[in-house]
Amino acid sequence: MNKLEQMFEVLRSRPKKRLAAAYANDDHTICAVSAAIDNGLIEGILCGDENVIAKVCEAENIDIKKFRIIHEPDEVKAATKACDLINAGEADILMKGLLSTDKYMRAILNKERGLCPPNATLAHVCAIENPNYHKLLIASDCAIIPAPDFKQKQTLLKYLVTTANALEIKNPKLAVITATEQMLVGMQACVDAALITKMAERGQIKGCIVDGPISLDLAIDAEAVAIKGFKSPVAGDADCLLFPCIEAANVFYKCNSKFDHAEVAAVVMGAKVPCVLSSRGDSSKTKLCSIALAALLAK
């Protein structure tokens, strides 16, 4: 796939995954789930205050009968019930509703009723359709892990490859991003990138072509590659970007969405099921594409 909307056609040909929205009391969540149902992507379950949901549906001219409603007016309990649905096998995807991100994540991480397996690493993965790049870019971690250590970077790499495969990108080209393509031992990001690249060369990391350390311009810009005379199977044609820290990844994400008006799909991986973590500032297209990506990744 090289366009996010291509996910829709794939999902329409598959059995529908069931999405549980945690505290779905807002028009943003309800409209996004409604659009996903109308596009034939999922089945929707709304956990929240049934009276509020009914008023939102009436105001937005949405047929409330398309949803399964779990009445729970308390936001924390609604998030817990959404997780319960997944643990009971009644839902395949979790989505954040009106509750705050910290309460949403707390429900996922709850040891007794949450969705986080022992020793799991939760991470944010996004697929970006930028009008100035010739194909989709998959990046991590833009929102959860502040400074991933070497072990966490290996996990992020696996999530990137899994997401690429879900988007029908086989043997993706993965760039381990640093501030420079030079091997500087005083820069930990460069050391980690070199070790990951060597592991891939020796077959310890499979399913992708890896190179690093590599700067962002060399990962995605063929002109910069030609000017610098840089030799790499990844350079100028990366499918996946593994960032060294949340600051770099988050700025990259927001520059794409704000400056280039790129379309984005984003999920949290590492839990029992993909978890949609959209914000009120995200476009309706971003929410819809994020639901679609979660449905593609759901088992």
For the chain, the domains span 6-119+271-297, 123-258
Please tell me the distance from the alpha carbon of residue 158 to that of residue 196, in angstroms, as a whole number: 12
Report the pLDDT value the prediction gives residue 237, as an integer from 0 to 100: 98
Model confidence pLDDT, tens digit, residues 199-211: 999 999 999 999 9
What does the pLDDT average to over 245-258? Answer: 94
- pLDDT above 90 covers a percentage of the chain that reads 95
In the beta sheet, which residues pair with residue 46?
21, 69
What are the pLDDT digits (tens) for 219-251? 999 999 999 999 999 999 999 999 999 999 999
The identity of residue 286, as a single letter, is T
- What's the chain's average pLDDT? 96
What's the rounded Cα separation, in Å, for the pair 90 and 249?
A: 34
Residue 153 has pLDDT above 80, yes or no: yes
CATH architecture of 123-258: 3-Layer(aba) Sandwich (3.40)
Asked if residue 284 has pLDDT above 90, the reply is no
CA–CA gap between residue 255 and residue 283 (Å, rounded): 15
Instruction: Tell me if the pTM is above 0.75.
Output: yes
Rounded-to-integer distance, Cα 236 and Cα 19, Å:
37
pLDDT at residue 98, rounded to an integer: 93
203-233 burial: b if 16+ Cβ within 10 Å, else e: eebeebbbbbbbbbbbbbbeebbeeeebebe
Domain 6-119+271-297 carries which CATH code?
3.40.50.10950
Mean pLDDT within 120-144: 96
- Kindly state the average pLDDT of the residues 56-62: 97
